[in-house]
Structure 1
Amino acid sequence: MLLVESAAALRRKPYHRQKLHLVLSGMRHLAAEFPGRVTLVRAETYGEAIRKVEGPVTAYQPGSHAARRMLTELGVEVLPTPAFALSRDEFTAWAGTRRRFLMEEFYRYQRTRFDVLVEGGAPVGGRWNFDAENREPPPKRGALGVAAPWWPQEDEIDAGVRADLDAMDLPAVGEDGPRRFAITRAEALRALEVFVSDRLPHFGPHEDAVLTRDWTMAHSLLSVPLNHGLLHPLEVVHAAEDAYRGGHAPLASVEGFVRQVLGWREYVWQLYWHLGEDYRRRNEFHATAELPRWWSELRPGGVRAACLRTALEGVRDHGWVHHVQRLMVLGNHALQRGYDPAALNDWFVTSFVDGFPWVMPVNVIGMSQHADGGTIATKPYLGGGAYLNRMTDHCRTCWFDPRRRTGDRACPFTAGYWAWLDRHEEQVAGNHRMARAVQGLRRLPDLDEVRVQERDREVF
């Protein structure tokens, strides 16, 4: 096996410091685990390293269009990746002539195709989707009170990685910190085991809630080892299914987790390739605002909105926040403020430890920003302060009032919600899922004041 540490790749973009640590730690641990079988080369570029290899080189399907082109130009044979359950040929057959790709339809296909939580062709429990049981607001005690995640122990390899990164002149963002995610096969298996036994039973009910002082809640933290190829999605979902069938985890929690791994993650990978490289540049609402520096550089100390500040602090400190903070706090804010979708997509790729070029376009361009005009989702994921007040504990201590849309203490999410609808009313008026919101906009007595306030807002 040939592993390449490319200095040019490390400094190409402002990656999160902990993301860089994970990538280098994973490669170096693999090289140490298989001495004699692995050659670890440190070079300026990937091409420089590969050209020095005598004989043919093969590689599994990489995680970006750019990497795929590079391998082709270098004469590297590219093989289908073993890191996903469904092959690209099978997905292409399923996609057929579809122009819209609804995840629910794909998810049901996946469940049937791989016989997960299915009996006699029908879903276990009589339903495919238990989302309605997994939307409880956060508990008032401020933490779920579940067993802690399994945390890896750093070793001399991690110490060497940290020293090397300290010595490099890299445009990194975020805080360095203890390695929190599994990056070896043995670590990944242990993290999976602890999640399934201790945390999966509690995952479902509050999976859409956010707590200020409990950043992991009952989430698995398995996206890093999954996206680094250390766990196969089928072994993960089978472990979860076994917990349900053994009476150790409720069906709603297991189904919600299976939906994330066998449904959404596979869907995102397949559509990255199926929709093509131009998908990243879709911009349905013509959003062009630059990301503010306090956002792009992860310096949220001056942000007053508690939900937004906490989410950015989580990215700064861990390189990770869970899916609701990504979608309904960070993505929702970016949608309301008209941030350029492509720039936002790139920020998610570089700032998140589980972010790769294939991971983010469907999540950001499609789901979060609705910049594809509905190829992925049926409506924009737009929300106001009322939603955040119900599903997070942030509003209790926030300077802004989620009930106010005008004035100094007007919640930027509440006011931003109406201002966004006002700007894009014509584009969304024909969407039946937005009909009630548009009707509410037309009855708003202080719309002119909201327009002026949100046009000139500088304080968040």
Structure 2
Amino acid sequence: MYRRRWLLADQLGPHFLDDPDQPVLLVEIREMFRRRPMHRQKAHLLLSALRHRAAELGDRALLLRTDTFREALAQVAEPVEVCHPHSRAALRFARSVPGLTVLPPRGFITSQADFAGWADRTRRGTLRMTDFYRHARRRHGVLTAAPAGNVGAARRPRAEARVTPATPPPPPLIVEDDIDAQVRRDLDRWAADGVRFVGNDAPRRYPATHAEAQARLEHFLTHRLPEYGRYADVMSVDDPMFSHSVLSSSFNLGLLDPEPAVRAAEQAWRSGAAARTAVEPFIRGLLGWREFLWQLYWYFEPRFRGANWLAATEPIPDWFADLDADAVEARCLADVLASVRDRAWTHHTPRLLVLGNYALQRGWRPAEVVEWFQRSFVDGTDWVMNATVIGMSQYADLARVDTRPYAVDGADIDEMSDYCGGCRYAPQAALGELACPYTGGFESFLHRNRERLVADPRLAAELTRRDEPERREAVLAQEEKRGSSPP
């Protein structure tokens, strides 16, 4: 006798089922949208993906709309099983339900036992993604022997911020259907009833089905992967997508299985369709960073989210929380915040060097920054944002994820982008009317946290270079005056 497989909203791909005839449970909880503001496009994608999966499965699927998951499970007569949920809260709930069988995790390449064994052999407290990525490549036999005639270097090239790539053909179009129309009507009604969303609504631009996601992946592998290594870190006001696949939400919803995607990218290198310098950064993102963040979420204790090594205590200001890009004059921040408002997405470099960097420089509370990223991005999940924001972006975890904070000045942003040429601020200036908020903010960050940062050789050198007393006091006074106002 089959158990009914409960597919959570981030377990919607075919690899979360074992048999084509297995009955399925899908649950839609309106209360999830009441708990905290969510980007309107993220809410639309979640509901659309759930409802499209139910439509695909037809009579095999039982789609319930209830106030709580417990109420939904109480309506199911037969035994129910669920793959290991992707959040601590969901796992605690699943284990509290009598008779609910929790299966091992799916949708990841490295097992929890394999990671724990590697981490336990490594000195605890100094786990690094680069070390894990080497382990994972060896463990899974990825990018091993070089193919004849295509021995591209493994080193990733420096981003070319002022070089425009050839424009690839647009990815397969997302066509909204009757399900999307009903989702939009429901969200409009909920908003009228007091459910709060952030960001702008728009026609759905992200895959809600496995077929849509697979078509986007195949397009990326053919048309964008060959230039990925060259342009993946570039920020541009003219093209927020550049060489990226924009499939993070598809992987995080479980629409795509990462292992076949890794193998397909590796095959592009072996066939000569793309150089290793293009392929490896993409594979590192899936086999390295994505797996590393998932494993850290479960390996470290739950208190990780509360880490605040730099003692940052400032709240996120309303203009940032509400994605008010029109209030911002700094061109980079205005453009990236507008991308979040209008698309619920921007790629990893703006997230780290524009958004997270700004929050870090001003000492915003790390837990609030995690929450903001999670609700504002279409791919925001607890396990991703927890380690990414706490560990990498806000350096709040005693360097367990990265060795240094992602704090840079305007000159670094200028080097990685085309933003500064049209900005009212001067990227080199830390003081005065033209002082770049990132350059003055960077110096202020260094001075405020000098005792915690002197162990880092690079930051210690930056401190020494900027440690003239009069300049230090002037920068600190200027940044304090700016306060939480939009730059």
TM-score by length of 2: 0.90
- Report the Cα offset of residue 175 of structure 1: 0.6
1:284 equivalent in alignment to 2:305: no
RMSD: 1.6
Is 1:73 the equivalent of 2:100?
no
Deviations 1:295-319 (A, max 9, x none): 1111121101111111110000010
Contact 1:146 1:217 in 2 (8 A): no
Aligned to 1:103: 129
Distance 2:296 2:242 in 1: 29
Aligned ranges for residues 192-341 of structure 1 at < 5 Å? 192-341=217-366
Match of 2:143 in 1: 117
> Partner letter of residue 147 of structure 1?
P
Separation of aligned partners in 1, 2:252 and 2:455: 38
Kindly provide the amino acid, as one letter, of the partner of residue 59 in structure 2: G
Shift of 1:279: 0.3
Q: Does 1:424 align with 2:446?
A: no
Q: 1:166 aligns with which of 185, 188, 193?
A: 188
- Which of the residues 40, 44, 52 maps onto 2:75? 52
Code of the residue aligned with 1:95 in structure 2: it is: A
Secondary structure of 2:130's partner? helix
1:9 matched residue in structure 2:
32
Moved over 6 A (4+): none
2:446/2:459 contact within 8 Å kept: no
Deviation of 1:72 after TM superposition, in Å, equals 1.6
Please give the alpha-carbon distance, in whole angstroms, between the structure 1 residues aligned to 2:475 and 2:185: 51
* Residue aligned with 1:202, SS: helix
Partner residue, 2:14:
none
Q: Quick check: 1:190 aligned with 2:212?
A: no
How many residue pairs end up in the alignment? 453
Residues 1:459 and 1:407: Cα distance change in structure 2 (over 3 Å): farther
Secondary structure of the corresponding residue to residue 308 of structure 1:
helix
Distance (Å, rounded) in 2 between the aligned partners of 1:69 and 1:138: 49
Aligned partners of 2:241, 2:172: CA distance in 1, in Å?
11
Query: Could you say which residue in structure 2 is the equivalent of 1:91?
Result: 115
Closer, same or farther in 2 for the Cα pair 1:221/1:40, shift >3 Å?
same
Gaps of 5+ in 2: 1-23
State the distance in 1 between where 2:378 and 2:166 align: 24
- Specify the alignment match of 2:391 in structure 1: 366
Q: Deviations over 1:234-271 (max 9, x none)?
A: 11011111111111112101001101111000001010
Alpha-carbon contact 1:144-1:218 (below 8 Å) kept: no
Distance in 2, matches of 1:394 and 1:444, equals: 31
Letter of the aligned partner of 2:110 in structure 1?
A: L
Aligned to 1:38: 61
SS at match of 1:3: strand
Q: Which amino acid aligns with 2:115?
A: F
Q: Residues 244 and 251 of structure 1 are in contact (CA less than 8 Å); yes or no, is this contact kept in structure 2? A: yes
> Does the residue aligned with 2:229 lie in a helix, a strand or coil?
coil
Deviation at 1:145, TM superposition (A): 2.4
Cα distance in 2 between the residues matched to 1:114 and 1:147: 33
**Structure 1 residue 445: deviation in Å?**
5.5
Alpha-carbon distance, 1:451 to partner:
1.1
Q: Any stretches of 5+ residues in structure 1 without a counterpart?
A: none
| CA displacement at 1:36 relative to structure 2 | 1.3
Q: Residue type matched to 2:186 in 1?
A: D
| Shift in alpha-carbon separation, 1:189–1:126, aligned structure 2, 3 A | closer
8 Å contact kept, 1:144–1:214:
no
For the pair 1:151 / 2:176, whether they are aligned, the reply is: no
CA contact (8 A) 2:152 2:275 kept: no
1:51: Cα distance to partner?
Answer: 1.6
Superimposed CA distance per residue, residues 59-115 of structure 1 (whole angstroms, 9 cap, x where no aligned partner): 111121111111122232221122001111111111115221100000011111111
Q: Determine the C-alpha separation between the residues in 1 that align with 2:400 and 2:173.
A: 38
Relative distance call for 1:417 and 1:144 in structure 2 (3 A) is farther
In the other structure, the counterpart of 1:451 is 476
Are the equivalent residues in 1 in contact too, given 2:431–2:440 (CA < 8 A)?
yes
Structure 1 SS opposite 2:466 = helix
Amino acid at match of 1:107: Y
The alignment partner of 1:36 has SS state of helix
Residue type of the alignment partner of 1:284: W
Q: Give the percent of matched residue pairs that are identical in Structure 1 and Structure 2.
A: 42
Partner of 1:82: 106
Q: Secondary structure at the match of 1:41?
A: strand
